[in-house]
């Protein structure tokens, strides 16, 4: 039996990016699903294409870890810049998150007048810019030397940000903007939920800046669906989709991976499964207990997919913030992404829409079949009605197809009911799992290990992992 240099379990953002950087090695990628890309895949149902979760691409800009990876892998992208990153609709107000600072500020001043808006948003923008300019960010916890290296890297961050690093987000909001209205607070928190999976309640100023500043970057729509990026990243890589890895056995200095179709040997294994789902792959008690010590982050997504019979050019992204919570959701907002009318694949039969909101994972897995159906219907109907109220030019009759997915759906297709990494809060700063494990040749990648979710966060983690693999 051949021994691979690297076996990668999963073709999500993390698995595919690290595979693309190791093409010169003997690499094999396993993917359980038919489609590549995990939470960022594009799938076909009822003759139409839909993005399963991720719809925005941020970080494709000079000197950004993501662009470095895509350039190295020679990824051919068909991107369209979204001039308005997100249009936020809240209680009759419209706020466009645009890259141009002055334009954005004039909208914020109109929606939420505050004499310190400029200072607040300028600090947010500057901290974010400083962070993405940092070099040598490193995070690992498997040995004394890795801790020392991490602390050195943190000291670089400390020297750059000084005591701002330890300021709480809520404290900073209060010190700068004073007591703000519930509406303004909701506006801030709803955006943080998208980027960080948490609100300003328990994060640091630095996380607040990273979470709020993404629309100050170029934000891209991916023609042909987000999933098309994975075909590019994995070109020339041996990829086995529809082949789930069922178990991994550590045999001295190699790993034996078992699937229903066969057995494979590899010197190194990178798991793109979540940190919470990794223990079940092993029998080795030490490895099992390593993974079991990470407490489950009970957060997931509720998604609705629709095809609407329209050929109108709408924006790519909207966020709707309501006054009250959505049934069975963790928030009062939802994110709407629409395909471009000139995207021949995604909009072939009408506009393809993905709507998502936050929900608990365990809530859905604990329901019996009938109750599951009933609760799913309640959430879906509520969001669709609210969507129709917010888009005057779309009527119920325009909806050709609609269906929804919960944490259970994510579990069925991509083995995860948790969606989104654990937010880096002041309390969890040193509890975030690192990509390197205490076991020689065994690594993790993706949004449940450092540095977190989405293209920018996972790309940063992939850079650290690449360094680890190079020794
Ligand atoms: C609704 C939603 C909207 C989002 N929107 C955005 C956005 O607009 N922009 C953005 O940047 N990010 C967004 N995110 C976050 C982003 O999608 C995720 O952080 C990212 O896709 C996770 O990537 P990952 O590398 O952790 O892998 P995953 O996406 O978790 O993929 C892991 C892969 O591994 C496979 N796998 C698992 N176990 C096995 C096994 N045993 N054998 C074989 N294969 C296995 C799975 O099938 C899966 O394909 C969104 C997330 C959600 C849920």
Model pLDDT for residues 384-429, shown as the tens digit of each residue: 999 999 999 999 999 999 999 999 999 999 999 999 877 776 677 6
Q: Is the pLDDT of residue 187 over 90?
A: yes
pLDDT at 105: 98
pLDDT at 430: 72
- Band of pLDDT at residue 220, cut at 50, 70 and 90: very high
The arithmetic mean of pLDDT across residues 329-353, rounded, is: 96
Q: State the closest ligand 1 atom to the C-alpha of 277, by its place in the atom list counted from 1.
A: 38
pLDDT at 312: 81
407, 365 in Cβ contact below 8 A? yes
Q: For 296, which DSSP code?
A: P
Phi, psi of 199 (to 5 degrees): -105, -175
Least confident residue range of 115-124, 132-141, 185-194, 234-243? 132-141
Q: For 247, which DSSP code?
A: E
The top-level CATH class assigned to 3-41+59-78+226-296+425-469 is alpha beta
Q: Which residues pair with residue 318 across a beta bridge?
A: 87, 336
Q: Which helix (H) or strand (E) holds 459?
A: helix 454-469
d(CA 465, CA 8): 13
What's the gap in Å between 252 CA and the centre of ligand 1? 31
- Band of pLDDT at residue 316, cut at 50, 70 and 90: very high
356 CB near ligand 1 (under 6 Å): yes
pLDDT digits (tens, 9 = 90+) for 260-275: 999 999 999 999 999 9
Name which residue leads in pLDDT, 369 or 312: 369
pLDDT at 270: 98
What's the gap in Å between 14 CA and the centre of ligand 1? 8
State how beta strands 48-51 and 245-251 pair: unpaired
pLDDT at 426: 63
417 CB near ligand 1 (under 6 Å): no
Place of tokens 């907002």: 333
pLDDT at 285: 97
376 CB near ligand 1 (under 6 Å): no
What's the gap in Å between 402 CA and the centre of ligand 1? 22
For ligand 1, atom 48: residue with the closest CA: 38
What's the gap in Å between 36 CA and the centre of ligand 1? 10
For ligand 1, atom 45: residue with the closest CA: 10
pLDDT at 161: 80
Distance from first CA to last CA of the chain, Å, rounded? Answer: 26
pLDDT at 428: 73
In percent, the amount of the chain with pLDDT more than 90 equals 85
Q: State the closest ligand 1 atom to the C-alpha of 35, by its place in the atom list counted from 1.
A: 49
What's the gap in Å between 97 CA and the centre of ligand 1? 25
For ligand 1, atom 16: residue with the closest CA: 454
458 CB near ligand 1 (under 6 Å): yes
pLDDT at 141: 84
Average pLDDT, the chain: 95
The arithmetic mean of pLDDT across residues 365-378, rounded, is: 98
Q: Other C-beta atoms within 10 Å of 239: how many?
A: 22
pLDDT digits (tens, 9 = 90+) for 22-66: 999 999 999 999 999 999 999 999 999 999 999 999 999 998 999
Q: Is the pLDDT of residue 150 over 90?
A: no
Q: Is the pLDDT of residue 322 over 70?
A: yes
Look at residues 304, 315, 319, 318 and name the one whose alpha carbon lies nearest to residue 339.
Answer: 315
Burial class (CB in 10 A: 0-12, 13-18, 19+), 393: exposed
pLDDT at 154: 76
56 CB near ligand 1 (under 6 Å): yes
Distance set, CA 193 to CA 86, 331, 453 (Å): 14, 8, 12
pLDDT at 134: 87
- Band of pLDDT at residue 90, cut at 50, 70 and 90: very high
446 CB near ligand 1 (under 6 Å): yes
Q: Is the pLDDT of residue 197 over 90?
A: no
87, 369 in Cβ contact below 8 A? no
What's the gap in Å between 255 CA and the centre of ligand 1? 24
What's the gap in Å between 69 CA and the centre of ligand 1? 18
User: Which pair of structure tokens corresponds to residue 373?
Assistant: 């159906």
| Domain range list for the chain | 3-41+59-78+226-296+425-469, 111-217
Q: Is the pLDDT of residue 81 over 90?
A: yes
What's the gap in Å between 278 CA and the centre of ligand 1? 15
14 CB near ligand 1 (under 6 Å): yes
């Amino acid at each position: 039996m051949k021994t691979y240099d690297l076996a990668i379990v999963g073709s999500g953002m993390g698995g595919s990016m690290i595979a693309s950087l190791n093409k010169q090695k003997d690499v094999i990628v396993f993917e359980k699903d038919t489609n590549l890309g995990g939470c960022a895949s594009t799938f076909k149902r009822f003759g139409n294409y839909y993005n399963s979760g991720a719809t925005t691409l941020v970080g494709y800009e000079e000197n950004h870890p993501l662009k470095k990876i895509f350039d190295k892998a020679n990824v051919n992208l068909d991107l369209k810049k979204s001039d308005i990153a997100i249009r936020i609709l809240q209680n009759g107000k419209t706020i466009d998150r645009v890259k141009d600072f002055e334009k954005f500020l004039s909208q914020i001043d109109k929606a939420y007048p505050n004499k310190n808006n400029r200072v607040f948003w300028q600090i947010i923008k500057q901290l974010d810019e400083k962070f993405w300019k940092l070099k040598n960010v490193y995070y690992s916890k498997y040995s004394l030397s890795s801790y020392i290296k991490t602390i050195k890297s943190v000291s670089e961050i400390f020297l750059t940000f000084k005591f701002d690093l330890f300021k709480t987000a809520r404290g900073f909001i209060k010190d700068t903007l004073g007591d703000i209205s519930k509406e303004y607070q909701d506006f801030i928190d709803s955006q943080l939920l998208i980027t960080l999976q948490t609100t300003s309640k328990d994060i640091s100023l630095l996380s607040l800046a990273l979470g709020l500043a993404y629309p100050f970057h170029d934000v891209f729509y991916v023609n042909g669906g987000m999933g098309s990026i994975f075909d590019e990243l994995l070109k020339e890589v041996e990829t086995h989709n529809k082949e789930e890895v069922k178990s991994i056995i550590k045999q001295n200095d190699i790993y034996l991976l078992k699937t229903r179709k066969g057995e494979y040997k590899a010197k190194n294994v990178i798991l793109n499964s979540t940190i919470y789902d990794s223990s079940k792959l092993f029998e080795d008690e030490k490895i099992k207990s390593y993974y079991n010590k990470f407490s489950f982050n009970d957060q997931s997504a509720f998604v609705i997919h629709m095809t609407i019979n329209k050929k109108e050019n709408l924006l790519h992204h909207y966020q709707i913030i309501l006054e009250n919570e959505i049934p069975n959701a963790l928030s009062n907002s939802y994110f709407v992404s629409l395909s471009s009318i000139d995207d021949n694949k995604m909009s072939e039969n009408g506009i393809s829409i993905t709507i998502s909101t936050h929900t608990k994972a365990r809530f859905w897995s604990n329901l019996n079949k009938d109750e599951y159906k009933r609760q799913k219907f309640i959430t879906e109907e509520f969001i669709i009605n609210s969507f129709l109220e917010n888009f005057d030019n779309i009527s119920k009759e325009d909806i050709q197809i609609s269906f929804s997915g919960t944490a259970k759906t994510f579990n069925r297709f991509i083995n995860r009911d948790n969606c989104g990494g654990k937010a880096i809060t002041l309390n969890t700063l040193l509890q975030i799992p690192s990509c390197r494990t205490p076991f020689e040749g065994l690594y993790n990648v993706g949004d449940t290990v450092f540095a977190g979710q989405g293209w920018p966060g996972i790309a940063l983690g992939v850079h650290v992992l690449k360094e680890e693999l190079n020794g």
